[in-house]
Homo-oligomer: A and B are copies of this chain.
Amino acid sequence: MLKNLMSYFFVLSSVILPAQNISDSLMLSSIYKTSLLNGKAYDWLDYMTNQIGGRLSGSLNAERSVQWAKEELEDLELDKVWLQPVLVPKWVRGPKEFALIETEPGVTFNVPITALGGSVATPSVGLKAEVIEVQNFEELAVLGRENIDGKIVFFNRPMQADLISTFSAYGGCVNQRYDGAREASRYGAIGVIVRSMNLRMDDYPHTGAMSYGDQPVSQRIPAAAISTNAAEKLSNLLKIAPKLKFLFRQQCKQYEDVLSYNVIGEITGSEYPDEIILVGGHLDSWDIGDGAHDDGAGCVQSMEVLRLFKLLDYKPKRTLRVVLFMNEENGLRGGRKYAEVATSKGETHIFALESDAGGFSPRGFNFDTSDHEFAQVKSWKNLFKPYLIHYFEKGGSGADVGPLKTKTNVLAGLRPDSQRYFDHHHAATDTFEAVNKRELELGAATLTSLIYLYDNYGLVGGTPIDSQ
Contact = CB atoms under 8 A, between A and B. Distances in A.
Interface of A: 32-33, 36-37, 161-162, 164, 166, 199-200, 361, 363, 386-388, 390-391, 417, 419-420, 423, 436-439, 442
A200 B438 CA distance: 9
Given A162-B36, A419-B442, A436-B423, A388 B388 contact: no
Contacts of A361: 361, 417, 419
A387 B162 CA distance: 11
Contact of A388 (B161, B162, B391): B391
B437 A200 contact: yes
A164 B31 CA distance: 12
Given A200-B437, A361-B361, A387 B164 contact: yes
A164 B388 CA distance: 8
Given A363-B388, A388-B363, A161 B438 contact: yes
A162 B33 contact: yes
A387 B363 CA distance: 12
Contacts of A363: 388
A164 B417 contact: no
B387 A390 contact: no
Contacts of A423: 436
7 smallest beta-carbon distances between A and B, as pairs: A390-B390, A33-B162, A36-B162, A419-B438, A361-B417, A36-B161, A419-B439
Nearest to A391: B388
Nearest to A165: B388
Contact of A420 (B36, B386, B436): B436
Contacts of A438: 161, 166, 199, 419-420
Nearest to A442: B419
A36 B162 CA distance: 5
Contacts of A161: 36-37, 438
Contacts of A436: 419-420, 423
Nearest to A436: B420
Contacts of A437: 200
A439 B439 CA distance: 16
A439 to B, nearest CB: 5
A37 B417 CA distance: 20
Contact of A164 (B162, B164, B386, B419): B386
Nearest to A37: B162
A63 B133 CA distance: 48
Given A164-B387, A390-B391, A419-B442, 12 more contacts: A32-B164, A36-B161, A36-B162, A37-B162, A164-B388, A164-B442, A199-B438, A361-B361, A388-B390, A420-B438, A420-B439, A423-B436
